[in-house]
Amino acid sequence: MNQPHDSKQQDFRDSIATAEKSGKRIWVFPAKPKGKHYNARTIVSIFLLAFLFGAPFIKINGEPLLLLNVLERKFIIFGLAFWPQDFHLFVLGLITFIVFVVLFTAVFGRLFCGWICPQTVFLEMVFRRLEYWIEGGPARQRKLAAQAWNGEKILKKSLKTVIFFGIAFLIGNTFMAYLIGIDQVIPIVTAPPTEHMAGFVAVVAFSLIFYFVFAWFREQACTLVCPYGRLQGVLIDSNSIIVAYDHKRGEPRAPMDRGERDAGLGDCVECGACVTVCPTGIDIRNGTQLECVNCTACIDACNRTMRKVGLPEGLIRYSSEDAIAKGQTFRLTGRIAIYTIVFVLLTSLVTYLMVTRSDVETTVLRTPGSLYTEADNGDIRNLYTIKVVNKTFEETPIELRAVSPKTAAIQMIGAGITVAPDSIAESAFFVDLPRDAIFSQSTLLTIEVVSDGEVLETIRTSFMGPGKRSEP
Ligand code: SF4
Ligand code: SF4
């Protein structure tokens, strides 16, 4: 990995930048980023936030666009409903996603953390911006934190708490909407708490957690808790594209001397802008570090300095350690090739399973414990139970048709089956078979599941009979 200019200077690796040796938190007061990367991230964040808050209101055939109802084990992803019966698809999809993340990280490092992760988007684009607006820049924030509680401090801190909690409450409600659907969340929020006590407690609990994370825990979530962040050490290598300081070009670093640059000096003018702007409190010039979320703030800060001192931009940039140290361009390494092959195979499998997945899934079982009986006309009769899972959002009438033996007669017990949208129906039916169609104790029975004239599934099951005694 990228090394600091003085290889003996490795103290920073013994501790994290936001904790003293005693373990006490060092609060970070980063400067507000400015520059084209920050502007681009702002635009991306606006789209992401609009989608995050808008998606629960989007419905397809009356059902949410996205629903991750863990409690009822019901998942809807872009209008496609997944039931416990689709668990294999869900697991395969998850494995494919993990392989994608590993592959993506091996190539692009923590691009996701800097641009898409909700933690970074909310913290840097929402909460931090509000903090600058209420408390001012880093110097004023530091002063406010240090000063005694006076009218100004009480006013600013109270305003910040109310606004932060309001946004955390909004996030908590949105989070709930993804879990149980917006139609369930609205009554929880609008009706008196006593009418939806469990839902109310959940909304408040989520809101408090989000408030805690964004108002206080902040970068510690990325450094200490996030498993993706903790795995960076094994996911990225010297070929991965990361936010990197070009130590070959920057060192030896030294301040600008009256606008002049002595020969032999590197391009880093020791302005410190890359450090003061870093929301995780690190110095990127020390090399790749666990805390770096690739937010690009230091790229913008350094480019601004480079422009001021008349040096080329890009002293800190998206690059790889190999590109900086050896001038190598991106290579397709064996590791990336293997990840790619596994990813393509898994994606193909998941796509195949998705395309061939039936919208209506039927399970037919001979009723456990029952043998055959004799009908009034002398035919042999078996009793079956049927369970139909309707994964569509339309009411589906179900009809059963005996295919083989052709002489089998199906008789539903009770009314026919009509499965409500997005639900399960169970019923039972008799199958009668003339004795002369039975040649063994177990006869293969083939039934078609039909809806509105369309064959949805063909079921094969066994029909129990008296066996050879019936042979003509
Ligand atoms: S080092 Fe740069 S990219 Fe990494 S977190 Fe700090 S400012 Fe962001
Ligand atoms: S912003 Fe650039 S020039 Fe300034 S200290 Fe950081 S690397 Fe050096």
Ligand at minimal distance from the CA of 292 is 1
- State in Å: Cα 216 to ligand 2 middle: 28
Residue with CA nearest ligand 2 atom 4 = 271
From the CB of 275, is ligand 1 less than 6 Å away? no
pLDDT digits 0-9 by tens, 172-184: 999 999 999 999 9
| Pairing between β-strand 242-245 and β-strand 373-374 as defined by DSSP bridges | unpaired
- State in Å: Cα 270 to ligand 2 middle: 5
Domains and CATH numbers, the chain: 1-146+218-357 (no CATH), 360-470 (2.60.40.10)
Mean pLDDT within 281-308: 95
Mean pLDDT within 34-63: 95
- pLDDT value of position 367: 85
- pLDDT value of position 468: 61
- pLDDT value of position 472: 43
Residue 1's pLDDT band, with cuts at 50, 70 and 90, is very low
Residue with CA nearest ligand 1 atom 4 = 292
- State in Å: Cα 302 to ligand 2 middle: 5
Residue 344 in this model has a pLDDT that exceeds 60: yes
Residue 471's pLDDT band, with cuts at 50, 70 and 90, is very low
pLDDT digits 0-9 by tens, 231-278: 888 899 999 999 999 999 999 999 987 767 778 899 999 999 999 999
Indicate the DSSP class of residue 370.
-
Residue pair 35/281 in contact (Cβ under 8 Å)? The answer is no
From the CB of 299, is ligand 2 less than 6 Å away? no
- pLDDT value of position 407: 92
- State in Å: Cα 349 to ligand 2 middle: 48
Residue 7's pLDDT band, with cuts at 50, 70 and 90, is very low
From the CB of 294, is ligand 1 less than 6 Å away? yes
In this predicted structure, which of 9-13, 258-262, 308-312, 351-355 has the lowest mean pLDDT?
9-13
Question: Which 3 state secondary structure label does DSSP give 76?
Answer: strand
- pLDDT value of position 263: 80
From the CB of 96, is ligand 2 less than 6 Å away? no
Residue pair 391/83 in contact (Cβ under 8 Å)? The answer is yes
Residue 80 in this model has a pLDDT that exceeds 50: yes
- pLDDT value of position 16: 80
pTM score, whole prediction: 0.83
- pLDDT value of position 177: 96
What does each C-alpha distance from 19 to 16, 113, 139, 150 come to in angstroms? 6, 22, 20, 28
- pLDDT value of position 12: 66
Q: Rounded mean pLDDT of the chain?
A: 90
* Helices within 126-225 (DSSP H only): 128-135, 138-146, 151-180, 182-190, 197-212, 219-220
Question: Which 3 state secondary structure label does DSSP give 254?
Answer: coil
Cα separation, 64 vs 83, whole angstroms:
15
Largest CA-CA distance found in the chain, in angstroms, rounded: 113
Residue 470's pLDDT band, with cuts at 50, 70 and 90, is very low
Mean pLDDT within 36-55: 98
Question: Which 3 state secondary structure label does DSSP give 359?
Answer: coil
Mean pLDDT within 13-38: 89
pLDDT digits 0-9 by tens, 91-140: 899 999 999 999 999 999 999 999 999 999 999 999 999 999 999 999 99
Residue 369 in this model has a pLDDT that exceeds 90: no
Mean pLDDT within 21-33: 92
- pLDDT value of position 402: 94
- pLDDT value of position 286: 93
Residue with CA nearest ligand 2 atom 6 = 274
Percentage of the chain beyond pLDDT 90 is 69
pLDDT digits 0-9 by tens, 418-459: 998 878 899 999 999 999 888 889 999 999 999 988 998 899
Residue 358 in this model has a pLDDT that exceeds 90: no
Residue with CA nearest ligand 2 atom 8 = 268
Cα separation, 99 vs 250, whole angstroms:
36
Cα separation, 179 vs 159, whole angstroms:
30
Residue pair 284/316 in contact (Cβ under 8 Å)? The answer is yes
- pLDDT value of position 11: 66
From the CB of 438, is ligand 1 less than 6 Å away? no
Residue 165's pLDDT band, with cuts at 50, 70 and 90, is very high
